[in-house]
Chain A
Amino acid sequence: MDPGLLAQHLFNGLMLGVVYALVAVGFTLFFGVLDVIQFSHGDVVMLGAFTALATWVGLTSAGATSPLLLLFAMLAVSIGLMALLGALMARFLVLPLRAAPPINVLLITLMTGTALRESVRLFYPQGSNPKPFPRLLPTGVFEFGEFTLRYDSAILLIVGVAAIVAVHLVLSRTRLGLAIRAVAQDSETASAMGIPFIATVLATFAIGSALAALAGVVNGLYYNEISFNLGLLLGAIGFSAAVIGGLGNMYGAILGGFLFAALQTIGAIALPFASAYKDVFAFAVVIILMAMRPAGLLAEPTAERV
Chain B
Amino acid sequence: MKSVACIGVVVLCLAAIGASAKDIVRIVFIGPLSGGVSANGIGGRNSADLAVRLRNSDAKAKYTYDLVVLDDECKPNVGVQVATKAAADNGIIAGVTHYCSTVAMAAVDVYRKFGLPVVIWGAVLPDITYANDFKEVHRVNGTMINQNVAAAGFMTDLKFKRWAIIHDTTDYGKGHNKYFSEDLGRKGGEIVGTFGVTADQQDFSAEITRIKELKPEVIYFAGLTPLGVRIRSQMDKLGVKAVFQGTSGIVSDAFIDGLGPLAEGVVAFREGAPAEKLPGGRMFIDAYARQKYPDDPEAYGPFAYAAMTLVLDAIEKVGPDRKKVRAELNRTRDYDSIVGRITFDDHRQNSVPLITKFVVQNGKWLVWEDSEYASGKRTLGKK
Contacts and interface: CB of A to CB of B under 8 A. Distances in A.
Interface of A: 1-2, 5, 8-9, 12-13, 15-16, 126, 128-130, 132, 141, 143, 146, 148, 150, 153, 223-225, 227, 229-230, 233, 264-265, 267-269, 274-276, 278-279
B201 to A, nearest CB: 8
Contacts of A13: 206
Nearest to B193: A275
B39 to A, nearest CB: 8
A74 B207 CA distance: 31
Contact of B238 (A1, A8, A223, A267): A8
A146 B209 CA distance: 9
27 contacts: A2-B213, A8-B209, A12-B205, A12-B206, A12-B238, A15-B205, A126-B38, A128-B35, A128-B38, A129-B38, A130-B36, A132-B258, A143-B239, A146-B213, A223-B233, A223-B234, A224-B233, A225-B230, A227-B36, A229-B200, A264-B203, A265-B205, A265-B206, A268-B206, A274-B169, A274-B196, A275-B210
A49 to B, nearest CB: 12
Contacts of B237: 148, 150, 153
Nearest to A9: B209
B197 A275 contact: yes
Per DSSP, are chain A's interface residues mostly helix, strand or loop, or mixed?
helix
Looking at B206, B234, B239, the one whose CB has the most chain A CB atoms below 10 A away is B206
A5 B213 contact: yes
Nearest to B166: A275
A5 B226 contact: no
Q: Size band of the B side of the interface?
A: 20 to 34
Contact of B36 (A129, A153, A224, A276): A129
B225 to A, nearest CB: 9
Nearest to B215: A146
Contacts of B238: 8, 12, 148
A269 B239 CA distance: 18
Nearest to B197: A276
Contacts of B203: 12, 16, 223, 264
A5 B212 contact: yes
Contacts of A1: 213
A222 to B, nearest CB: 8
Contacts of A265: 205-206
B202 interface: yes
Contact of A275 (B34, B35, B196): B196
Nearest to B205: A12
Contacts of A227: 36
B233 A278 contact: no
Contacts of B35: 128-129
A115 to B, nearest CB: 19
Contacts of A146: 212-213
Given A128-B73, A278-B206, A223 B230 contact: yes
B34 A130 contact: no
Contacts of A141: 239
A136 to B, nearest CB: 14
A25 to B, nearest CB: 20
B195 interface: yes
Contacts of B234: 223
